[in-house]
Amino acid sequence: MNGLVEKLAGLFVVVDGPDGAGKSTQLRILADRLRAEGLAVHSVQDPGGTRIGGRIRELLLDPELAEMDVRCELMLYMASRAQLACEVIRPALAAGTCVLSDRYISATVAYQGAGGIDAGTVRQAGRIAVGQTWPDVTVLLDLSAEEGLARAGKGGSHDRMEAKGLAFHRRVRERFLQQAREEPARFVVVPGAGTPQEVHERVWNAVQEWTSGNA
């Protein structure tokens, strides 16, 4: 086991970013590489990751529920997250496993922030939902809203969040980057353009640099 994976044992790592940035792909590649290096890794999806969270996720992404209020979104995301933290994340961390999450509270700060809720309110709701279960580091994959939506639409359809339009997704990207500027010790920003392997190497190097200074 190399130095990087030793430092990641028992840490909580989030991979986040705008729609189409490739976070799910990058999380999978990172998890596979860390496991190959001998690290115990548990990957989770947020919202979702539990039986209860999976049902909440279906509501949140249903394109037929376009009338959902942003405060309803906030509460549903946090409800799913509360169950995920209790049922999965905290037990895994306590066992010394590295937890990798596809999105977390940073996404709600960005998306519901773009919908009009200030970051302080989102974080307050997050503290109620998950207590002290906050990520050690968030890998933020950065990509323009134009390219992200083009990627996301290649499958032929958009979920409820993807369908909100270009101006909304530009605000989302800016709110992600704002978080990284405000908390540089807890975020690493990785350009999301390029092939999956090219982006992975940037992710790997960024996480390695972060562990050298923080873990």
Per-residue pLDDT of the chain (215 residues; tens, 9 = 90+): 567 778 999 999 999 999 999 999 999 999 999 999 999 999 999 999 999 999 999 999 898 998 999 999 999 999 999 999 999 999 999 999 999 999 999 999 999 999 999 999 999 999 999 999 999 999 999 999 999 988 876 555 556 566 678 899 999 999 999 999 999 999 999 999 999 999 999 999 999 999 988 86
Task: Give CA–CA dist 144/17, Å, rounded.
Answer: 10
Q: What is the pTM of this model?
A: 0.93
In this predicted structure, what is the pLDDT of residue 213? 83
Q: What is the length of the chain? A: 215
Decide the pairing of beta strands 12-16 and 98-102.
Answer: parallel
The residue ranges of every structural domain in the chain are 7-213
The answer to whether domain 7-213 has CATH 2.40.50.140 is no
Q: What is the pLDDT of residue 28?
A: 98
Q: What residue has token string 């991979």? A: 15
